[in-house]
């Protein structure tokens, strides 16, 4: 049965479906990161200014104002829900690869921790605990690395040919013919 759950053993049309999903998902994910970069939110100072504003400073290119409570709740709510679903679907696919158990576990659990640390940290930054911006930046990087590595490993599994001459017996054990 385990052999039947491997991505490499999926029919070609299903592999094309998964590949298409990964491409579109990656475009969406990295477009979001491009947005973060364009708002100068990829540094601890930029993260803090993005949520707490910078209107008190002089000689600014772009004036940013502190976000309101409703806006913060909307940002945090939508990001936690959507990114959790992204990593849930990606995690299901990672479990269909042949990587070892440690990496499967890490790549499927760590992103959920990073989601909570990143967006929980953003909320604390908004509450003026600005020292947390370094932690938010690190957890965001870790989340991105987990996403990228997961997509690469799934993509490699899609390229592998099916295991030949294997059959699942009634006992659930794989029998090589």
Q: Alpha helix locations (H) across the chain?
A: 12-38, 44-52, 69-94, 101-126, 133-159
pTM: 0.85
Model confidence over 3-26: pLDDT tens digits?
668 999 999 999 999 999 999 999
Residues 6+ apart with CB under 8 A from 64: 49, 50, 53, 54, 55
Angle formed by the axes of helices 133-159 and 12-38, nearest 10°: 160
What is the DSSP code string of 14-32? HHHHHHHHHHHHHHHHHHH
> 3-class DSSP state for residue 162?
coil
Would you give per-residue pLDDT tens digits along the chain (177 residues)? 456 689 999 999 999 999 999 999 999 999 998 988 887 777 888 888 888 888 777 777 778 888 899 999 999 999 999 999 999 999 999 999 999 999 999 999 999 999 999 999 999 999 999 999 999 999 999 999 999 999 999 999 999 999 875 554 445 454 444
């Amino acid at each position: 049965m385990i052999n039947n759950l491997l991505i490499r053993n999926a029919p070609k049309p299903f592999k094309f479906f998964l590949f298409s999903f990964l491409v579109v998902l990656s475009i969406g994910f990295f477009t979001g990161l491009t947005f973060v970069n364009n708002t100068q939110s990829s540094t601890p100072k930029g993260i803090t200014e993005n949520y707490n504003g910078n209107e008190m400073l002089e000689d600014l290119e772009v004036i940013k104002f502190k976000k309101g409570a409703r806006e913060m709740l909307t940002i945090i709510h939508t990001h936690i829900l959507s990114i959790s679903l992204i990593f849930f679907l990606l995690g299901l696919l990672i479990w269909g690869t042949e990587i070892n158990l440690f990496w499967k576990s890490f790549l499927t659990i760590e992103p959920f921790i990073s989601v909570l640390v990143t967006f929980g940290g953003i909320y604390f930054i908004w509450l003026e605990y600005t020292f947390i911006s370094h932690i938010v930046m690190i957890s965001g990087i870790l989340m991105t690395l987990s996403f990228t590595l997961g997509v690469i490993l799934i993509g490699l599994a899609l390229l592998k040919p099916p295991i030949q001459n294997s059959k699942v017996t009634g006992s659930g054990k794989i029998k090589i013919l």
